[in-house]
Amino acid sequence: MAVKWFHSFPLHLLLVTIVIVGVNSEYIEYNTAPRIVPEKINVHLVPHSHDDVGWLKTVDQYYVGANNSIRGACVENVIESVIASLLDDQNRKFIYVEMAFFQRWWRQQSNAKKVKVKKLVDSGQLEFINGGMCMHDEATPHYIDMIDQTTLGHRFIKSEFGQVPRVGWQIDPFGHSAVQAYLLGAELGFDSLFFARIDYQDRAKRLREKTLEVIWQGSKSLGSSSQIFTGVFPRHYDPPDGFTFEINDVSPPIQDDPLLFDYNVQERVNDFVAAALAQVNVTRTNHIMWLMGTDFRYQYAYSWYRQMDKFIHYVNKDGRINVLYSTPSIYTDAKYAANESWPLKTDDFFPYADKPNAYWTGYFTSRPAFKKYVRDLSGYYLAARQLEFLRGRSSSGPTTDMLADALAIAQHHDAVSGTQRQHVAADYALRLSMGYLQAEKLVASSLSFLSASKSSTEEKNPDTKFQQCPLLNISYCPASEARLSSGKSLVVVVYNSLGWKREEIVRVPVSSENVIVKDASGKEVVSQILPLSDITLRTRKEYVKAYLGRSPKDTAKHVLAFIASVPPLGFSSYVISDTGRTGRGLSASYVTSGSLNEDIEVGQGNLKLQYSEEGVKMTRYLSTKNQVTAEQTYAYYIGSNGTDKDPQASGAYVFRPDGARPIQSEGQAQLTVLRGPLFDEVHQEFNSWISQITRVYKGKNHAEIEFTVGPIPADDGNSKEVITKLTTTMKTNGTFYTDSNGRDFIKRIRDFRSDWDLQVYQPVAGNYYPINLGIYMQDKTSELSVLVDRAVGGSSLEDGQIELMLHRRMLHDDIRGVGEILNETVCLPDGCKGLTIRGKFYVQIDKPGDGARWRRTFGQEIYSPLLLAFTEQEGDHWINSHKTTFSAFEPSYSLPNNVALLTLQEVENGEVLLRLAHLFEVGEDSEYSVMAKVELKKVFNNKKISKVKETSLSGNQGKAEMEKRRLVWKVEGYTGEEVKRGEAVDEEELVVELAPMEIRTFLIRFDDHIDMVGEERATT
């Protein structure tokens, strides 16, 4: 054998020599010139990196590449590497989405570098897509927050690059809302919207029927004007298998050097063509899009571009299909040019499941305290911007900018959603807190300015030092709790950020029960004193210590409640003094422990609460012959920890219940009833970790339920998801309605989807929907509505019943990437325990069709609570030397009850951003679902408007030019209808018309300088 081997060796050598003769390894100039070939399949390669603005790491850790033991991700590297690769070849392209990251990078670049990058943007090599500060969630943010964060990003892009994003890119949120389609899509001037996540059953049908790409009409009120071309990816937002090329990826590269082993050009071309043909079989037209990237890719961009250059070159040489560097904008234009008719999609894409037992409906409630913090600061930001405008924006003093940035980042789909790791949640909260502190100073200085007397000077009348109380939800307010010494009183300035007058009850903790309240004229105001509940005192003591590092003083024992009457976009002042109380406002109380010997009824109108051994019932008398009773209870679901057949557990994202358990009272339950001139309230402690206070107000038809839940016990090893239920005998036929991001209401039918025949595997989780404003149900005789104070999940799982999920404590991870159990705790000196949350929901029962008015108007009051500021005075010195009431509007003017002032903000160059919204849908209310009118001359009292320019929703382009560029798509079987919108604003009349559900945005200029607005509008 050895002899034969030596004899054959020269032959092998000869064969090798023959193979390589005439073959050289040399430079190859890859032809990547972009072209579309009409008669071929065109594969649009879209290079992208999905960069979460916080998730496993904080936003700054992701940016600089810190904390890489969690994940090796550095967004700074991504941007730097991509820019270098784009500069190398003018045919290459890249899209970027998250302006929170790009802005960080941009601030630190040299002018020379900025010039180069601007050329990349101008040429279309680098295109900004979506363009918000983050890729916001679509289930749990309020629509105002979605608008604000998008506006912030769009104005940055416009200011720095002069560009307007054309495409929505919501590739990762866990379900998609109607508001996203029409408001954060069509109303922004977007030509298309793309995303990845839809229900696995829905995707399977769309793949079969080639309906992954549709025209989505998100608003029934705005009809065809709300339509947008929408594309759902055939798989996730990554390339087909075998075509990922990050430095450590395993996909085979094209090896095109003939002198090296494993030459594979034709093999890889064949792979590419096969994958393209597979995708073209599930879509319409000869254009398909490949997403070349996924999470935090392109940290070494050349490894991607080198391979894409080769694929474009060799596949196009092969000639079977055509490949090009592209963007979603180019792809959209190609689809439009095909002149295809597309299916129509209405409503939304909730709920989302990626497997039979994996409905992503738990995150609708996850981290409820953080969700409430975001919502509270959202309303505060709205008010602070108004006051910043009224005072005049200062370049040196405190501004709302830090709060704007923090709120924008908090809308990210792993932020307000509650699906981030704990240390990231703490980072978001810290940013919000820092932003609040700056805005708090701005609010205080603005109120000081607006309340200062015109005749006084700064030297004679120094600024008022106002204090505010962000922890009023747990009855902690040092300013109102301070004991008033002889001759001193407490001034409370109450600011109303809504456009109509409000008469509302203000509640503050006080140290004495012997206090009275007077208005600015010295007239006593009806008030009421109530004791702080035991649970409030405990919660206050623990959480003030936990979050502020100090224990509250034990001075506050009572709550003072009084009616404040406040003008639109203005304030009123009240004085609290510790003299003269005769006990008229003291609430009469009734306390019972253990079993109720007799039924107790509470209520001051046609809404009554009945308490008995059977529980609590709420009855609304709609007429002498029509009354509706709702019973309220608490329960919890045990979160599944998986089974042998399916290991799916309940976790931060997924809700997989393993049966419900009613919550029974522990031992001798205590009931405290307090009656007073303003409202009656009932304190109930169901067990050691659930209690509530129910209030019924004089002259109101709704009940307010303030709940305290936690710490949820975990010592039995079970995850728990706490719900409250309202049960009636209403015949609702499986139908209920939930809001879309606080805006439109969408009809839901239990165990039903309009787009496919639903296979029911999870009858509870699969019927849960996100709620930001409210949920309601109705039958032929009545309508029951529930409004919420934050994002929650909810449903109607039985006819006549509504349930809300209030809190979750999980003991297992749901294996969706976060890699951490959702088990929130609060730590005190004596150890850590489960998080306690406090919140409110509101219930009203009406005749059918009458509930919309309450939902819309009271919903605005929930989102924009009265803002309180406190200062002490000697005698009546402050009241006598300051303006005690103010409205920015012309006296006696207010906005119509169907219109909300969403934005009043001074922006660059002295312009003012004004955003007005119609609150009602078409046909929702007989009186209010009509065209509304707003008189700008009366809104901007004593100011001469020199220019009004209507813009897109984000203010980055003129409305008229946006409409000219709008692509009008052909829709299968759609005949169209006349859509009524408000007319253009006449420059003389300056009246804004708003059709139902219409939001209109304007940039306004004034003849005089903006910082005089507050002084000129003040009234005494």
* pLDDT computed for residue 1019 by the predictor: 36
How distant, in Å, are the alpha carbons of 737, 848, 921 from that of 925? 15, 11, 8
Spell out where 56-107 has E strands: 94-96
Answer for the pair 974, 921: CB distance below 8 angstroms, yes or no: no
* pLDDT computed for residue 667 by the predictor: 56
d(CA 989, CA 937): 8
Q: Identify the three-state secondary structure at position 402.
A: helix
Tokens found for residue 610: 């009945």
The DSSP result for 974-987, as a single string, is --------PPPPPT
Parallel, antiparallel or unpaired: strands 837-846 and 192-195: unpaired
Q: Residue 568: which of 143, 940, 950 has the closest Cα?
A: 940
Q: Residue 387: which of 946, 888, 941, 942 has the closest Cα?
A: 888
Q: Residue 816: which of 409, 245, 355 has the closest Cα?
A: 355
Please name the residues in contact with 892: beta carbons below 8 A apart, sequence gap of 6 or more. none
* pLDDT computed for residue 22 by the predictor: 65
Tokens found for residue 540: 């206050």
d(CA 669, CA 333): 66
pLDDT along the chain (1020 residues), means of 10: 44 46 84 96 98 98 97 97 98 98 98 98 98 98 98 97 98 98 97 98 97 97 96 96 94 95 97 97 96 97 98 98 98 97 97 97 98 98 97 88 98 98 98 97 95 59 85 93 86 97 96 92 94 91 88 85 97 89 58 64 86 81 81 95 92 94 71 92 92 94 95 96 96 98 98 97 97 97 97 98 98 96 92 95 95 97 97 90 95 96 93 98 96 97 93 97 95 85 94 97 84 39
Is residue 103 packed enough to be buried (19+ CB in 10 Å), middle (13-18) or exposed (0-12)? middle
* pLDDT computed for residue 397 by the predictor: 85
Other CB atoms within 10 A of residue 412 CB: 30
> What does the angle CA 958 – CA 961 – CA 962 come to, to the nearest 5 degrees?
80
d(CA 798, CA 759): 18
- What are the respective helix, strand and coil percentages of the chain, to the nearest 5? 25, 30, 45
d(CA 328, CA 818): 29
How distant, in Å, are the alpha carbons of 178, 383, 618, 985 from that of 630? 31, 36, 5, 47
Q: Outline where 98-249 has alpha helix (H).
A: 99-107, 111-123, 143-161, 178-182, 200-209
H or E segment at 318?
Answer: helix 302-318
The DSSP result for 875-938, as a single string, is TTHHHHHB--EEESSPTT----TTEEEEEEEE-GGG-EEEEEEE---TTS-TTTSS-EEEEHHH
Pick left, alpha or beta for residue 990 (phi over 0 → left; psi -120 to 50 → alpha; otherwise beta).
left
Parallel, antiparallel or unpaired: strands 912-918 and 899-906: antiparallel
* pLDDT computed for residue 14 by the predictor: 43
Answer for the pair 232, 213: CB distance below 8 angstroms, yes or no: yes
d(CA 194, CA 170): 6
Please name the residues in contact with 225: beta carbons below 8 A apart, sequence gap of 6 or more. 186, 979, 981
* pLDDT computed for residue 551 by the predictor: 84
* pLDDT computed for residue 73 by the predictor: 96
